[in-house]
Amino acid sequence: MPKGGKKKGGKKVVASLPPSDEEYDTGDNWSTASVLSEDISSISEDGENGADDTTVVENFEDKLKDCIEGISQKSGKGRISCIETMAKLLSKKYVYDFLSDRKVTVSDGLLRCLKKGNGDEQAASAKCLSLLCVQLGNEIEDDFKEVHSLLLTILADNTAPVKARSECAATLAMSNFLACTDISVVDNTMLALENIFKGSYRKGDKSVPSHPQQISRLHADALSAWSLLISIAPTFSVQKKIEMHLSRLSDLLESADVELRIVAGETIALLYELAREEDEVPTDFFLILKKMF
């Protein structure tokens, strides 16, 4: 979280193509992936059976080590399986000490997958990187600079798979919120997210844009990520964003996509609360709200 960025009264929330899968898929790769998938459910079962705590921890860490090794294998499907299993493991247990000793290895491995993988691999890698930020917080900041740059590139790439772009939006928000102390980086990230969701603002002729559902969901994910970051923005930045986007956010309430409408409503409510905290509610805020409803 940026230093000095926390607002008073706020609440803290804790291209070369890769080789084809067919070329490299082997029995060993699939064996590793299969074992990882089957063993993850045994983590809680070991504890329930009264196993020694040390043994449970060692088993958990062994599974993570297998995943870390697995993300460098040549099989694309095998890498995805290992990345997804790693994400499940990191969602189950806080392992700061374990990851702190391996943060460069893990982040570099996921970065390679993010660079060269297909859409599914990019999406899985972005999600896992987000969990890495949850685990390590500011400690990962220096090692995350190249990752951050690549996430922004994928997010802005209209030719990239939409699923990957959506996960990149979420990971950018989480990494900036938990593992960034530079408010200028946060501001640049917010601008990148704005460039995505403003695609659903009314056109010049005042008509509501019509997008495929997956694009509308991308806009919703970008707006949701933006909302998280504005909650840690300094007061002057919040005021500027309100003036810039409040009246336009009401356009999103006319979207055909229900998820985008919901996120837009939540964002408008958040902007009001942030402005009220600083006694800086714009005079036209209520007029805009009345007009919307």
In terms of CATH, what superfamily is 15-181? Leucine-rich Repeat Variant (1.25.10.10)
Contact present, 243 and 285 (Cβ < 8 Å): no
Yes or no: say if 136 and 96 are a contact pair by the CB < 8 Å rule: yes
Kindly tell me if the per-residue pLDDT of 287 is higher than 90: no
**What pLDDT was estimated at residue 279?**
66
pLDDT number for residue 62: 94
Instruction: Judge whether residue 172 has pLDDT over 70.
Output: yes
At 123 the pLDDT is 97
Q: What is the pLDDT of residues 232-241, one digit of tens each?
A: 998 888 889 9
- Mean pLDDT of all residues in 159-172: 97
Q: What DSSP string describes 55-100?
A: HHHHHHHHHHHHHHHHTTSS-HHHHHHHHHHHHHHHHH---HHHHH
pLDDT bucket at 246, cuts 50 / 70 / 90: confident
pLDDT band at 281 (very low <50, low <70, confident <90, very high): low
Q: How far is CA 210 from CA 216, 222, 256, 259, in A?
A: 9, 17, 8, 14
Q: List phi, psi (to 5°) of 91.
A: -80, -15
| 164-177 core/surface letters (b: 16 or more CB in 10 A; e: else) | bbbbbbbbbbbbbb
The domain limits of the chain are 15-181, 183-293
Q: Flag the least confident range among 37-41, 63-67, 131-135.
A: 37-41
CA atoms within 13 A on the CB side of 101: 6
Confidence grade of residue 56 (pLDDT, cut at 50, 70, 90): confident
Q: Which amino acid is at 94?
A: Y
79, 118 Cβ separation under 8 angstroms: no
Which tokens go with 265? 């409503």
SS3 (DSSP) at 52: coil
Q: Is the pLDDT of residue 219 over 90?
A: yes
284 pLDDT tier (thresholds 50, 70, 90): low
Residue 189 has pLDDT above 80, yes or no: yes
Which residue from 36, 110, 22, 35 is spatially nearest to 74, judged by alpha carbons? 22
Number of helices (H), then strands (E), in the chain = 15, 0
**Model pTM score:** 0.80
Mean pLDDT value of segment 24-52: 48
Q: Across residues 146-173, what is the average pLDDT?
A: 97
